[in-house]
A = this chain, B = another copy of it.
Amino acid sequence: MTYTIGEFSRLINLSIHTLRYYELEELIAPRRLENGRRCYSENDLTWIQFIRRLKDTGMPIKEIQKYAKMRAIGDPTLEGRMELLIQHRQVLHQEIKQLEEHLENLDDKIDYYKNVIVKRQEQN
């Protein structure tokens, strides 16, 4: 199964413009038909879904690009790619911890507001 850019765009919910931009940034390299049009494969599909994951976890495009370049080379870069993921995992883990802390803090603040509001209502 292959897809035109329009189909692919709808499928993964990224704009056509964004897809072309990702290609320019060397994140993805779809095959081309004889007439020059992009032709995305199932492989491209799983790959872009992974790119999304990386993006959603805050990895900048330049970093994803590094990964993509290694991936394009293939087997000999397995270790390198794993390394990169392990590092990213570390960062992500820290980030989650930080966010959990912030969430708690936010909860405290909300509780404080609740108290003030309740007390104010008791006054009337």
In the complex, chain B residues whose CB is within 8 Å of the CB of A79: 117
Given contacts A56-B98, A96-B96, contact A89 B113 (CB under 8 A): no
**A residues adjacent to B (C-beta < 8 A):** 50, 53, 56-57, 78-79, 81-82, 85-86, 88-89, 92-93, 95-96, 98-100, 102-103, 105-107, 109-110, 113-114, 116-117, 120
Quote the shortest CB–CB distance from A22 to chain B (angstroms).
Answer: 19
B57 touching A114 by the CB < 8 A rule?
A: no
A103 touching B92 by the CB < 8 A rule?
A: yes
Nearest CB in chain B to that of A112: its residue? B82
B100 touching A96 by the CB < 8 A rule?
A: yes
Nearest CB in chain B to that of A95: its residue? B99
In the complex, chain B residues whose CB is within 8 Å of the CB of A110: 82, 85-86, 89
In the complex, chain B residues whose CB is within 8 Å of the CB of A102: 53, 56-57, 92
Nearest CB in chain B to that of A113: its residue? B82
Q: Which of B96, B106, B109, B114 contacts A99 (CB 8 A)?
A: B96
The CA of A56 and the CA of B97, in the complex, are separated in Å by 12
In the complex, chain B residues whose CB is within 8 Å of the CB of A82: 110, 113-114, 117
